[in-house]
Each structure stands twice: as structure tokens, then as C-alpha cells.
């Protein structure tokens, strides 16, 4: 019995992972979660190489007026964390403008 316990755990874990995308698609179809990435004013989206990321599950932002940390979590539990060391108002330097 004890030898088959790790195998049973592995089978259950693989089943949950394989169903994660199906659950997300069903939730989008019935309108529980948006079908796109986030919503206006609440979107954390990135493309790294050929991989895209969308923090559709939760976005958290914390700041003290001079710095900020932004954390995004997708439906699979993956996270993206941005740390902004300094914040200011005004126009960016011309080298950053298109």
C-alpha cells in the first residue's frame, strides 16, 4: 500500500495540471473571468521571447511614493514581479520617446 501512495499522488497531481487549462477556458466561456488579458486599468501583460504572460488571476501593487513593487499572478500560479526603484512625474527623457 505504501509503495503505491507516491504513484497515486503523482497521478492526481498530473490530472490537476492537465485540467487547469480546461477549467480556465470554461470559466471564460461562462463569463466568470475575462476572455482577454485583464481589463482597462488593471492589466499586467508581458511577452518574453515567444512566450506571452498575462496576470489574469491577481495583481498587487505596493508603493511608498518614491518606489513601487507590482506583482502579477496568472491562473497557473506563475508570477511576474516588477520593482520600480524610483518614481517621478513629468515627461521621460527624449531618448525613451518614439
Domain ranges in the chain are 1-33, 37-98
Residue 81: the pLDDT is 94
pLDDT per residue as tens digits for the range 16-70: 555 555 666 777 778 777 777 877 777 888 888 998 888 888 899 999 988 999 9
Q: Is the pLDDT of residue 13 over 70?
A: no
Residue pair 82/70 in contact by the 8 Å Cβ criterion: yes
What is the spatial distance between Cα 49 and Cα 38, in angstroms, rounded to a whole number? 21
Residue 71: the pLDDT is 94
pLDDT: which is higher, 81 or 29? 81
Question: Cα–Cα distances in Å, from 62 out to 37, 38, 58, 73, 94?
Answer: 21, 19, 13, 15, 28
| Cβ neighbours of residue 66 closer than 8 Å, sequence gap 6 or more | 86, 87
Residue 32: the pLDDT is 74
pLDDT: which is higher, 96 or 74? 74
Residue 22: the pLDDT is 63
- Mean pLDDT, residues 70-94: 87
Cell (9 digits) for 23: 477549467
Amino acid at each position: 500500500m505504501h509503495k503505491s501512495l507516491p504513484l497515486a499522488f503523482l497521478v492526481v497531481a498530473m490530472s490537476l495540471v492537465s485540467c487547469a487549462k480546461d477549467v480556465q477556458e470554461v470559466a471564460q466561456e461562462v463569463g466568470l473571468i475575462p476572455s482577454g488579458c485583464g481589463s482597462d486599468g488593471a492589466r499586467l501583460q508581458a511577452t518574453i521571447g515567444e512566450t506571452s504572460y498575462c496576470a489574469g488571476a491577481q495583481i498587487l501593487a505596493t508603493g511608498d511614493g518614491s518606489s513601487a513593487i507590482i506583482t502579477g499572478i496568472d491562473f497557473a500560479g506563475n508570477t511576474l514581479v516588477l520593482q520600480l526603484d524610483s518614481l517621478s512625474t513629468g515627461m521621460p527623457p527624449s531618448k525613451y520617446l518614439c
